[in-house]
Structure 1
């Protein structure tokens, strides 16, 4: 049986996702205004592309996190399976967040050392925040992909039902 790295409830997973999206968005807005907003020159196109490429790479890796789930055993008690499945999904959500958030760091570095004001944060921030939301929010798509891996040997984790009921 895969070990649940977190003892979490569906509500806690949702709250974590909302909190992280809000904190990252707020932090990006704060930094944008701290560095002069849009008063500076827009960066060259090559730099704009270089700031977006890491976001695509992070999304690629975050999209494969659900593949790391080990199937649950068929003979475990249903209540334990359900709790274990939510814990595995919570751990995957945290991992996805780190993959997506790390891709925003180059934009922060360019903002600090470059002479482009807050533009690098806008260029990377909008798609980066969209990817964080897409990957970390416990949508039916994300839950179903994890549930498919957990239930692949015949177990009934009821992961989707856990989130629909909460």
Structure 2
């Protein structure tokens, strides 16, 4: 992996375990913990375009059978969460989630950069980028022949998006 993402410096750090965004997904998908896992830390000093471009350099790993998971949320505002099962999403959360899905459907990934400059819906939906950037890593690994399918698509607790997507090579999937 170091060669793929050079000249971006990468070092191995085994001093702590997996982040909750990694283990919370993998413990459901692979409860026996029987797969090797490499987790990338995200450089908070870089912008969305930088993260997306770095992800494009990871694309060859897919051809080696590596599962690439971007675990985050399109909408992730815990400050205004409503702890009830039957609450409706905030209108701004729905609008931003729909906007992002439309950009994914049309392949307009660059429209998802500079999220905090995209208006109030984006600012409320993405108060910090750490849960948003994993989407850009997944999108950066898309190839022209890939098919994108939305597996789930809802907002819970009014401001926590649970939209998930599967990216698969259409030639392999059929």
Provide the TM-score with structure 2 as the length reference. 0.30
Which protein shows a greater Rg?
A: 1
- Counting strand residues as a fraction of each chain, which structure ranks higher? 2
Q: Which has the higher contact order (CA 8 A, sep 6+)?
A: 1
TM-score, normalising length from structure 1?
Answer: 0.31
**Higher helix proportion:** 1
